[in-house]
Amino acid sequence: MTKDKKRKAAIRETQRVTGGRYTRLAREIAATASRVFPLADLLAECATLPHASAEWDFPEHYAPAVFDSSLIGTAVPYGTVLELAGILAQQGPGALITLESAEPGSQAVVVCGSRRFQLVLTQDMVNELCRKPECRNSSDCRAFTHCREHLVECGPQALVSMARAWGYGRREECDQDPAAVGGSGEADLLVKAAVVGVCFEPVMNTLLDACFGDPDLFDDMYWDASQALAVQHALERERLRLHQVARAEVARIHKETEDCTSCGMRLFSWNPDVPPTLCPPCAPPPAAARRIAAFAHGRHGVASGEVCHTSA
């Protein structure tokens, strides 16, 4: 989609939601596009501007207290701004905010660094959004930077680091029952993205290591031998399960594409070093793929993600 088509689609979507006139919305959206300001300026508005009156299409006692923000271009709940400030506390008041879009009476989307946030304008609430520009979905959990649709666009390094962050969190969640760590649908999402990104093994190994720890240390970690054995079994069961998830995903992709997207040969088997939409002879050699990945990540940063998945 070209930039102009995206702009028109955004206007039509706003028109659908708000029922406003196309030309007026086009003017408003153009005025709000790419407005950049430090968080401190938004906090100053929040701390000094008086309550504004607003019309709500729900009972007044559920409505948040709002002020007319000139930076966001519409009425914004005080609580929404304070929640955003809390989330960005580590960046401090100098954090630069870019206003991506604003739909009065509904929501605004702001960007800080690579993170994107939905400011809910009808409640004291902020939702973190997928980092893919203009995507309106949230990720499935805090450890994921992208929604399930766009996880496949993250490169191997980003997927491995998400697997590590998610696995540590999962292990903490299950510290009362370490053998219950496996079987999560969130791990499945990472594995499916890793299949497309030709990094299934690094992602699976990182997941298992972060979730279970080093199996050579199980005897020291768990004083009860039967618990050490239970965790060992749980680890092997999860390894098998993740392989099954990967194979099912490959089967799904093969059913969808049927033939190699490069030469047209029938696809039938899976090699984790080969993109699932290509036959082995058409795939770049793994070493070359790694070199390309290193080059691309060096140039575009960790989450650029356009390497090692030729299905896009």
Residues that bind Zn ion (CB under 5 A): 130, 132, 135, 137, 147, 150, 260, 262-263, 265, 279, 282
| Residues facing residue 98 across a β-bridge | 36, 111
Could you tell me the smallest distance in angstroms from the CB atom of residue 283 to Zn ion?
8
Could you tell me the smallest distance in angstroms from the CB atom of residue 200 to Zn ion?
20
Q: C-alpha distances in angstroms, 246 versus 79, 116, 272? A: 43, 30, 9
Nearest alpha carbon to residue 129 among 143, 114, 115, 112: 115
Could you tell me the smallest distance in angstroms from the CB atom of residue 69 to Zn ion?
26
Could you tell me the smallest distance in angstroms from the CB atom of residue 305 to Zn ion?
12
Burial 168-201 (b: 16+ CB within 10 A, else e): ebbeeebeeebbebbebebbbbbbbbbbbbbbbe
Task: Output 14 or 145, the one with its CB closest to Zn ion.
Answer: 145
Task: Output 253 or 279, the one with its CB closest to Zn ion.
Answer: 279
Task: Output 132 or 297, the one with its CB closest to Zn ion.
Answer: 132
Nearest alpha carbon to residue 270 among 289, 251, 288, 242: 251
Could you tell me the smallest distance in angstroms from the CB atom of residue 278 to Zn ion?
6
Task: Output 15 or 257, the one with its CB closest to Zn ion.
Answer: 257
Q: Output the DSSP codes for 274-306.
A: S-TTS-GGGSPPHHHHHHHHHHHHHHH-TT---
C-alpha angle 285-289-291 in degrees, rounded to nearest 5: 120
Q: Sheet of 35-38: strands edge to edge?
A: 35-38, 96-103, 107-112, 115-120, 125-129
Could you tell me the smallest distance in angstroms from the CB atom of residue 96 to Zn ion?
22
